[in-house]
Amino acid sequence: MSMEISSLTPGVLVDTPAARVAVQPAAGRLSLRARKAALPALGAALGVSLPTRIGQRAAGGGIEAICLGPDEWTILTPADAVAGLLAAGAGVDHPHSLVDISARELTLRIQGPRAADLLTLACPRDIDTIPVGEGRRTVFDGATVVLWRDGENSFRMDIWNSFAPHLARLMGIGARELAAEPA
Amino acid sequence: MLLIHCPYCDETLPEAEFTYAGEAHVIRPPDPSALSDDDWQGFLFIRSNTRGPHYERWRHFHGCGRFFNAVRDTVSDRFLTTYPAGQPRPALETLTAASEDRK
Ligand SMILES: [Zn+2]
């Protein structure tokens, strides 16, 4: 069996009446680790007020932040803003780590009338426990992913590159299966 | 599938997001070279293998990433409680009483 293992390029992977899955254009991604005391200063430097409850998101000035753990955040930015944010973070006088992880992951956009159903294919978590406007790190068929819920049936999924071809293929099968179900 | 409450995320989530990490409250000796071979072996390898409520570590691997502690009954698989790492071991009587209340 021939398998496509090269990295995915931006574009639509599958488009059925049930769901549409597309690889998003490359984005800037930063991983931030810091203690609570450093948050006000870091937020001011990065231009976004960092949320403190796990799963909460914040957006501002073209960047988005999500709280993934008690001391961990992921920040999404336009690719050309990464260097500026790293420099801004370096000026903060609190111990922290701010690392460019742009090359580590890609993002799928999953939307359509049955997008939430499609995610139940390989995610053991109850998708309905993720409120619209929040996100969670969870697992999808064995791979750790970050799921952003932008709407009732609109999601983004951040996936480490090495898992992406497998999950993309799975999404394709799932979207076609859901579309083939008798109404 | 077990449902496990992560004390950091404050959500009850499927076991598939978690990994088991052995017995809890095993304290590493501050000066290992002062120990006899038997005592060092005891620290490294010997665990209580409890039948009943077991104090154990879990990690919310596909989530917040944190290690935490839990008390799980090894017979029924029922979780009596979970609590952040570093907190003292909760007394068993309080847990079983609370667990009876929930029945
Ligand atoms: Zn957690």
- Nearest Cα of chain B lies from the Cα of A34 at a distance, in angstroms, of 14
Confidence of residue B95 (pLDDT cuts 50, 70, 90): confident
Provide the domain limits for residue A35: 28-100
Centroid of ligand 1 to alpha carbon of A54 (angstroms): 8
Look at A68 and B64 and tell me if their CB atoms are within 8 Å: yes
Domain assignment present for residue A3? The answer is no
Burial of residue A181, with CB atoms counted within 10 A of its CB: 0-12 exposed, 13-18 middle, 19 or more buried: exposed
Q: What is the pLDDT of residues B6-32, one digit of tens each?
A: 999 999 999 999 999 999 999 999 999
Considering the domain architecture, whether residues A57 and A86 belong to the same structural domain is answered as: yes
Q: To which residue do tokens 């426990």 refer?
A: A129
Out of A54, A124, A129, name the one closest to residue B8 (CB). Answer: A54
* Domain count across chain A: 2
Q: Name the E strands within B1-103.
A: 3-6, 11-14, 19-23, 53-59, 67-73, 79-84
Those residues whose C-beta lies under 8 Å from the C-beta of residue B36, and which sit 6 or more positions away, are: none
- Tens digit of each residue's pLDDT (9 = 90 or more) over A83-142: 999 999 999 999 999 999 999 999 999 999 999 999 999 999 999 999 999 999 999 999
A6 within domain boundaries:
no
Pick the last residue of a domain from A49, A79, A100: A100
Q: Do A69 and B62 touch (CB under 8 A)?
A: no
* Domain termination residue (choose one: A100, A129, A149): A100
Beta bridge partners of A151: A154
Q: Which two tokens stand for residue A90?
A: 């370096």
Spell out the domains of chain B, with CATH numbers in brackets: 3-101 (3.30.2270.10)
Dist CA B80 CA B96 (whole Å): 7
Q: pTM of this prediction? A: 0.91
**Interface pTM, i.e. ipTM:** 0.90
Cβ separation of A139 and B64 shorter than 8 Å?
Answer: no
Work out the average pLDDT over A27-37: 96
Cβ atoms of residues A20 and A14 within 8 Å: yes
Six-digit token string for B51: 């039948």
Domain finish residue from A67, A100, A133: A100
Helix, strand, or coil (residue A29): strand
CATH number of domain containing A52: 3.30.70.1520
